Amino acid sequence: MGAANRVQGGIFTLMVVKIGDPYDPDLERELAEQVALSPGFFADAPVVLDLKDSLGCTSVADYTALRQLLRRHGMIPVGVQNASALQLRAAKSVDLSAFSGAAGGARRPIERAPAAPERAADRPAAERSSESRTRLVTQPVRSGTQIYAKGGDLVVVAPVSAGAELIADGHIHVYGALRGRAIAGAAGDTTARIFAHRFEAELVSVAGRYIVSDAIPPEHRSQPAQVALIDDRLCILPGWGNGRGAAEG
């Protein structure tokens, strides 16, 4: 097997845990409450520590305490984001990776300033056509399958099985049963929504906010529904309307 086949790219969904004071007793209480809602979802789950505005996590002892706390609740820390130079140096000492993260924990699109103004007509046609494209999936999405619509919306006109994962930088539309995971606004778009004709999702997420299946009220199950961020809270809305839903995350 050649080196090109051994080392390949991949896209993974990671939870983010915001850390203020690593020794704050409220941290463990809040984690315990969250895990109690869906223990299976958090079992051996990899997490990234968001250190924005954290004054701790500057020593190996801090990370050792955090690792022990998270492991007690089934989570495995794999890296940090929004870390200062001192925090990052200590994190690397305990084999935690550095992740790029936006302020506030919610992912936002990376903005790049071009060296010079460029007209759309000056770019190659293939490059222009790839911008904000909608990805269409017409076959059933099986368990273990991950589909990512980079830079646009994802439309699935077939069932999505439990264990499958849909990811889009824009909206996600499922014209069938949604039984797996759906992650919209993956690059930080807080206006993104998830639409499903039959809502039975394991997890739904918009711009980093998420709701797991155990927190979905029974009145929304197996019904048409949409998921949206409203007033910075993730809400499940009945049908395809604009009213507020009963579930918030």
- The per-residue pLDDT for range 38-96, each reduced to its tens digit, is 777 778 889 999 999 898 899 999 999 999 999 999 999 999 999 999 999 999 999 99
Binned at pLDDT 50, 70 and 90, residue 194 comes out as very high
Sign of torsion, CA 14 205 8 125?
Answer: negative
CB 141 within 8 A of CB 158: yes
Query: In this model, does residue 249 exceed pLDDT 80?
Result: no
Sign of torsion, CA 26 27 30 35?
Answer: negative
Instruction: Say what the pLDDT of residue 148 is.
Output: 92
Lowest pLDDT segment from 17-31, 104-118, 149-163: 104-118
Whether the pTM exceeds 0.75: the reply is no
CB 137 within 8 A of CB 168: no
Q: Which residue has the higher pLDDT, 37 or 191?
A: 191
Instruction: Say what the pLDDT of residue 120 is.
Output: 37
**How far apart, in whole angstroms, are the C-alpha atoms of residue 154 and residue 238?**
20
Average per-residue pLDDT in the chain?
Answer: 81
Going by C-beta distance under 8 Å and a sequence separation of 6 or more, which residues neighbour residue 16?
Answer: 47, 48, 49, 50, 81, 101, 105, 208
**How far apart, in whole angstroms, are the C-alpha atoms of residue 45 and residue 21?**
22
User: 82 is written with which tokens?
Assistant: 């929004």
Q: Tell me how crowded residue 207 is: count the other CB atoms within 10 A of its CB.
A: 23
Residue range 183-190: average pLDDT? 90
